[in-house]
Amino acid sequence: MEDLFGGAAPYYAKYRTRPGVPAIEHLAMTFGGDSVVLDLGCGPGTIAIPLSGRVREVLAVDPDEEMLAEGRRLAPRERNIRWIEADSTRLRELPAFDHVVMGRSFHWMDRRAVLAELDALLPGHGVVVLVGPTREPREEPWEPVTRRVRDEFGVNTFSASSSFQATGEHHDDVLATSPFSVLDRAHYVERQVYDLDAVIGLQLSYSYSAPARLGARLAAFKEEARRQLLAANPSGRWELETVTEVLTARRPPRSP
């Protein structure tokens, strides 16, 4: 999956939904101020940057150097973030960590293999936390239009071995049969307004319609998306309620 998010980093950083302050506070309380947290699949630091002020150190790990470079650009003064180019198959090469957080990255991984590896690496109190949409997310109001445009340009999703795309098995079900089977969840609701540029920018943040995949057709894609979105909604403005779920997975308590 070379160039999976090629050219997407600035769009990802600007237009992807960020966990709000309550979600970051939840993570900080879960991890504790003296913890080293692995943000696995960190992207441009969507979680790592706001979390870094609340823990001892964040290991911000991603296989995409463009994403890491964008994160470094956005957080040049954050001294307790280590930006590391690696992926979920190289966990044993990383510095030691106390907890793991993943935001919209777990679905690309061989999830059972990653959880088994984390069971070997995390201390007894270590937890795995997923931050993202709920199990049944609402479809964004512009999605019927943007999906049609993506279909017209022939950009489709990738599949990864044992990933959600490949198996259709939800994260909850994978976790429930893993070493981290005790689940706790919290939901945080925000209302957001998207304009036309934000909706188009969001499309360019996705792996399947990232600039590298569109190549020379990028300008045409943006123009066609703009045309069809305005035809469907001349105001060029969309309001929606987003729900961020913080799903904490712990090991069961040991029998005495």
**pLDDT string in tens for the chain (256-residue length):** 455 688 989 998 999 988 999 999 999 999 999 999 999 999 999 999 999 999 999 999 999 999 999 999 999 777 799 999 999 999 999 999 999 999 989 988 999 999 999 999 999 999 999 998 877 778 899 999 999 999 999 986 554 444 444 556 889 899 999 999 999 999 999 999 999 999 999 999 998 899 999 999 999 999 999 999 999 999 999 999 989 999 999 999 986 6
Q: Are 60 and 36 in contact (CB under 8 A)?
A: no
Q: What is the pLDDT of residue 135?
A: 76
What are the beta bridge partners of residue 190? Answer: 242
101 φ, ψ (degrees, to nearest 5): -125, 145
Q: Which two tokens stand for residue 115?
A: 């959880």
pTM of the model: 0.88
Cα separation, 49 vs 63, whole angstroms? 18
Q: Are 228 and 145 in contact (CB under 8 A)?
A: yes
